[in-house]
Amino acid sequence: MIIRSFCRRPAAFQALAAAPARCSAAPSVRHIHHRPALANEADLVENGIPGLMSPAQFKIAWTDYQQHMMDQLNYMTAGTPFDNQSPKNLILEWARDPTKAGGFNPASMAWNNHAFFKGINTNPTITSRPSEALDLALTTNFSSLASLRETFLMTAESMFGPGFVWLVQQKENRFPFRILTTYIAGSPLSGAHYRRQSQDLNTENENSFSGVKNMVGSFGSSAPANLNPKKPLGGVDVVPLLCVNTWEHVWLHDYGVKGKSEYLARWWDRINWDEVAQYATLEKTRMSQNQFYG
């Protein structure tokens, strides 16, 4: 069993490809996972994302990297019972088990990366702006869109190392919209909270995150009523709406090592707010039309 798990480490992928005779259980890789198609992808391959990525940068960030994640996933799942599972199912399945990190990481990165590129407005002639309902919701939560932008980009800039920054909607009464960071290959899905990786533990006090909580007086006939609402079905208590990929390979080619803030600023102008509204649960206002300024 140990031997088999070592065989399926992605680091061993290259070695195994060269010397298949070493591992007794090396499976022939069947290509189940394919790189998903983005809207007008041919255009993007040729011209990149106007205002954000050059064609070469887009190739690195999407074409090559996503394909690399597909290859990793195919290698990790071929011949196993998880053969034909979607990346989301794999994330939820493997989040709890550290020994399955070799499979969790490519699944999570594939999901996050696709979510990132899907949320970008790739049409150069259209400037996307939040709909009225969304604008209202965000203003309620962050006091203004400008302050949301500031907080969001500041958070992304201050994260040291690769990761993603998400705008999520929680199931809460007053301020459901929150900003969530996931370092490296962390996942915002609530079912994969074991691997959320929202803090850099090197700079945090590890004792503050210990799971040990004093449960004295928390249950029984004299205990105070639990006012927290029950968790909803299927773990839909954290809904990711929008994300930015802060891994260096996504912006290094175009912006250089110091160009992170410029990349983030340009990305903010390229957000597709329609996608955000699609994922969000918004209150109905009288005029909730998308505003497009072309």
Partner 1 sequence: MIVRSVALRHGRHAIASNFLSRRFLASQVDSIEAAAENSIKQLQSLETQLNSGVPIPEPSAEPDLFSRSSTVAEQYQLFKQQQKLTQTLGSDISAHYKPHTLLSNPPSPADVTLELLLAAEAHQGHATSLWNPANARYIHGVRQGIHIISLDVTAAHLRRASKVVQEVSKRGGIVLFVGTRDGQDTAVVRAAQLAKGYHLFERWIPGSITNGQQILGKCATKVMNEKDEVVPGFDEQLYERPVLKPDLVVCVNPMENYVLLHECALNNIPTIGVIDTNADPTWVTYPIPANDDSLRCIQVIAGVLGRAGEAGQKQRLELAEKGQITYRPAQGLVAPGEDDLTTASPEVNQEIREKVFHDTESIVDADELSDKIDADANHEGDGRRIRVTS
- From the list 45, 107, 46, 97, the residue with the least C-alpha distance to 73 is 107
Supply 106's token pair: 């490519």
- The piece of 122-130, 169-177, 216-224, 249-257 that touches partner 1 (CB under 8 A) is 169-177
Supply 259's token pair: 């160009």
For residue 1, the minimal CB distance to partner 1 (Å) is: 27
- d(Cα 239, Cα 275) in Å, to the nearest integer? 13
Q: Which of 38, 49, 52, 107 binds partner 1 (CB under 8 A)?
A: 107
- DSSP three-state, residue 145: helix
The 120-159 contact track toward partner 1, x by CB under 8 A, reads ----------------xx-xx--x---x--xx--xx-xxx
Measured at the alpha carbon of residue 130, what is the angle toward residues 278 and 240, in degrees to the nearest 5? 40
CB 263 within 8 A of CB 255: yes
For residue 111, the minimal CB distance to partner 1 (Å) is: 4
Q: Which of 59, 68, 129, 178 binds partner 1 (CB under 8 A)?
A: 178
How many residues touch partner 1 (CB under 8 A)?
63
User: Interhelix angle for 65-77 vs 101-118, to 10°?
Assistant: 140
The answer to whether 171 contacts partner 1 (rule: CB under 8 A) is yes
Supply 45's token pair: 């391959």
Measured at the alpha carbon of residue 269, what is the angle toward residues 141 and 131, in degrees to the nearest 5? 50
Site of tokens 């990149």: 48
The answer to whether 87 contacts partner 1 (rule: CB under 8 A) is yes
The answer to whether 35 contacts partner 1 (rule: CB under 8 A) is yes
Residue ranges that bind partner 1, judged by CB under 8 A: 31-37, 69-70, 73, 83-84, 86-88, 107, 110-111, 114-115, 118, 136-137, 139-140, 143, 147, 150-151, 154-155, 157-160, 171-174, 176, 178-181, 189, 198-199, 203, 229-230, 232-234, 236, 239-240, 278-279, 281-285
